[in-house]
Structure 1
């Protein structure tokens, strides 16, 4: 008898304190050989093993089993199972009954059991096997239970999945004030860990405290600061009502802190993105304001209809160096320039301002053909050390000739070709041999080209933002532009600008500049009495 209890290890004294004679099993010396041998087997095992013995399923267990039942030991030893596990008997009782009745071994994996083993109803998980123990005559004397607690693994996996979902959703966080909208639905999908969650703005933690845990009658509440205590404008606190059915161990509190860390990192990224957006918006506004301040209204020379447009890029990063200019030279010729400085941002806008003003001054002073003006601009940029490159088309429209015709002379420095819309409604590109951008100091000559505009003709200048699209060849864009102008000969210069912006502007990824010069028809002159 002594040898049987000696195998109980640290439970030896607990076994000897039980008044076995007062239990349904009776005095130890009257135990059946099957019970004695099974107890000996259980006490020598390092796995958690318990016996449910006799009609009342009296508990006899080994040292490893104690860790799984907590405060139920030592009173559980020698007591009926239904009494010890009253809170979960509706779940495990029918399984034990079935095995004891001879139905065979029962195997249950990761079963959720709300067990009271530490003074509160706790969410626990177990994998266990129930097997019948047969006596010499073939009768079932009891049930042996070999069990393993899987609570840490189940909770760990559940929390890891929640953190993964939360991190994925927080990756889309675009603005600090969207944090609760993005994060709270994910966290509220895990009521087993968080009965409720909130993000308080402003934060409620006092200065100097980043984490607090408070106990309330309905359960614990954890609070975690999400921002620096000195940042009063965006101070935020994550508040979580924790489960009263989970142990407040380091695993649980560590999980709460990990959630807080994910929120802190997301909030920091969102604040940085917001700051970058504000900086980009300010830069865009500065660039666009500078640009618009320089793009003055065109003149209104007799016999000509002149219209200009500037539309900023949809993307903030694309605002920069597109410009137009239209002014009269002292001899009455109309000068039209459309250009595009390489690059985007305020530096490009500043370079555009320099180029535009230099080109205007050189044109007005030199009073020469467009090609000579562009050469003069190249020389000036080189001499003054202005590091800027741009495509430019510069055109001079002469005063009215016989029968209302106008001769146009232009030079093109790497810019998309103008489009001529004839009085009969046909349209064509005024393509010429490519020449270098301005700002590339070279001895290569620049060329002038001429064309005569009949009354009712329109000449369309533009920047590449009108026709260039990502994934589309430039030639396709130019073809579409010509097609859009065919048959539009009766539109005024303003109407042509609006027509082209309506056809192409909505999908533009870059700045768009338009300048349209239209020669009035002879009928217009006659009807006006001139």
Structure 2
């Protein structure tokens, strides 16, 4: 045996078995100095290297190259490349011929080849370079192939991309049926890894067998595992999708695997991840649906609670009083806004608008407390609005109602006894609330601005002030909470100015019509709830 092959390692016996004299290379003793040098270099490197020598491209390779060609070894050693790689010769043959004729090296990254190295056409990827090996006379004697297999990297990247696309496609879907349909659509765009994909629901036909798919008991599947079957010569993997169908049993993701890839742990792990992504999307959708049901129920309950407290307004002859309440629409949440209208023992009419800080159950509960406290204080004490709000401050402090709130308490009194028929006096006190808007009989509108006073609950010893204005027939006063005019990115003063512009010229509208006009003009922002009270002194009929 020629000492040239001493560095062949585990291939040394294979080299000794080849009848080199029967090949186009001839006996080893007659090999050219160039060939012997090239073989020596190839056998002394641990990187996969093969030599395609002579016109027939006879193969001489090192130990590391065996893994790349699988069961083609040892028959490939000393054999013409066209015979060894018959299934891919239409791809690599022209490349080798080009190097031999032009002497120019090639560089090919991640080339996909269907190579028969384990008994079937296997999808493989290689990065390699073919370069000419020239003799002392300058002629090309052979081609050197330095190669590395990149199959694992390419498949991993391809599968990661598909998983990312699937996750993105399912991320915003909330309906299980949509998720299942989108899953099939996305996965069918990857025929290389998953040439056939379907989702079977309990009681639907299985296209692979023509049978109905029964409900799949959980015991058939281990947690996170898959079932692998051979159907008509094709490998099929089934992954359970818990609770996807909403019926008894579970839906099943059925994927036909590629005939060009080994069914190894990496392949099955990829299918598991696909199933996990779909199951996670289904779980997320079910969670969102449950959250929406809870939010809708909470919203419904909150509206019922607040509407049970926000009763129809009391009316007095010769006055119009209209109220509105609109809950926040951004999400189902309780609010602290309230209105009230009730008669007092002396025959006057009390009007209230208020807003408790917060948007939760606590705010709603506190709103109910303040509303009832203020009703009791205002009805039981024959005091001015300022004194009644001060009394409410005292009650809140004594009863430890630890909350802040804005409010306006107003009282409407007839002026007939003063010789002013049809006129009314509005007396009010303002605890940090937005100013009411007065629409005069001529259609002009302006804010009933008063010096600012502290919110309810901030200081039980504060002295509060009364304010009054005479309302002629045809006058309208609008009380409201901040949910009417406050919007993100809008300055409060701009909102107040806009409200006065909206109300200007609306003096002919009834109280009910004016409420509807404002709700149309200010659609729900979704950020806050809204309460509104509109008081109108109807115009006196002609001649009276």
Give the alignment's TM-score, normalised by structure 1: 0.91
Aligned twin of 2:144: 144
For the Cα contact (< 8 Å) 2:51–2:145, is it kept in 1?
yes
Q: Cα deviations across residues 244-292 of structure 1 (Å, max 9, x unaligned)?
A: 2222233333333334444444444444444333333322221111001
Distance in 2 (CA, whole Å) between partners of 1:207 and 1:254 is: 20
Aligned twin of 1:158: 158
* 1:173/1:398 CA distance change after superposition, 3 Å: same
Correspondence list, 1:305-344, <5 A: 305-316=320-331, 319-344=334-359
* 1:206/1:27 CA distance change after superposition, 3 Å: farther
Distance in 1 (CA, whole Å) between partners of 2:271 and 2:304 is: 49
Aligned twin of 1:370: 385
Aligned twin of 1:408: 426
For the Cα contact (< 8 Å) 2:354–2:481, is it kept in 1?
yes
Correspondence for 1:244 among 242, 259, 262: 259
Correspondence for 1:392 among 407, 413, 435: 407
Whether 1:206 aligns to 2:217 is yes
Q: Cα deviations across residues 232-253 of structure 1 (Å, max 9, x unaligned)?
A: 7895544433322222233333
Query: What is the root-mean-square deviation of aligned Cα atoms in Å?
Result: 2.7
For the Cα contact (< 8 Å) 1:196–1:242, is it kept in 2?
yes
Whether 1:420 aligns to 2:438 is yes
Correspondence for 1:455 among 473, 496, 508: 473
Aligned twin of 1:291: 306
For the Cα contact (< 8 Å) 1:363–1:373, is it kept in 2?
yes
Give the drift of 1:226: 4.7
Q: Cα deviations across residues 407-430 of structure 1 (Å, max 9, x unaligned)?
A: 111111111111100001111111
Aligned twin of 1:429: 447
Aligned twin of 1:443: 461
The number of equivalent residue pairs is: 525
Q: Identify which range, 494-503 or 162-171, moves more after superposition.
A: 162-171
Q: Identify which range, 271-280 or 55-64, moves more after superposition.
A: 271-280
Correspondence list, 1:31-46, <5 A: 31-46=31-46
For the Cα contact (< 8 Å) 2:385–2:427, is it kept in 1?
yes
Secondary structure (helix, strand or coil) at the match of 2:487 reads: coil
Gaps of 5+ in 1: none
Give the drift of 1:337: 0.8
Secondary structure (helix, strand or coil) at the match of 2:342 reads: strand
Q: Identify which range, 55-64 or 476-485, moves more after superposition.
A: 55-64
Aligned twin of 2:517: 499
Aligned twin of 1:19: 19
Give the drift of 1:150: 1.5
Whether 1:486 aligns to 2:504 is yes
Correspondence list, 1:252-263, <5 A: 252-263=267-278
Whether 1:62 aligns to 2:80 is no
Q: Cα deviations across residues 215-242 of structure 1 (Å, max 9, x unaligned)?
A: 334643333345489x978955444333
Q: Cα deviations across residues 152-181 of structure 1 (Å, max 9, x unaligned)?
A: 222223233334444445543556555335
Distance in 1 (CA, whole Å) between partners of 2:406 and 2:234 is: 71
Aligned twin of 1:276: 291
Distance in 2 (CA, whole Å) between partners of 1:172 and 1:427 is: 47
Distance in 2 (CA, whole Å) between partners of 1:267 and 1:320 is: 33
Whether 1:301 aligns to 2:316 is yes
Distance in 2 (CA, whole Å) between partners of 1:129 and 1:424 is: 93
Gaps of 5+ in 2: 203-213
Give the alignment's TM-score, normalised by structure 2: 0.89
For the Cα contact (< 8 Å) 1:42–1:50, is it kept in 2?
yes
Aligned twin of 1:118: 118
Aligned twin of 1:473: 491
Aligned twin of 2:539: 521
Give the drift of 1:438: 2.2
Secondary structure (helix, strand or coil) at the match of 1:505 reads: coil
* 1:429/1:318 CA distance change after superposition, 3 Å: farther
Distance in 2 (CA, whole Å) between partners of 1:472 and 1:403 is: 42
Give the drift of 1:198: 4.4
For the Cα contact (< 8 Å) 2:215–2:248, is it kept in 1?
no
For the Cα contact (< 8 Å) 1:195–1:242, is it kept in 2?
yes
For the Cα contact (< 8 Å) 1:54–1:141, is it kept in 2?
yes
Distance in 2 (CA, whole Å) between partners of 1:157 and 1:64 is: 25
Distance in 1 (CA, whole Å) between partners of 2:482 and 2:237 is: 58
Aligned twin of 2:73: 73
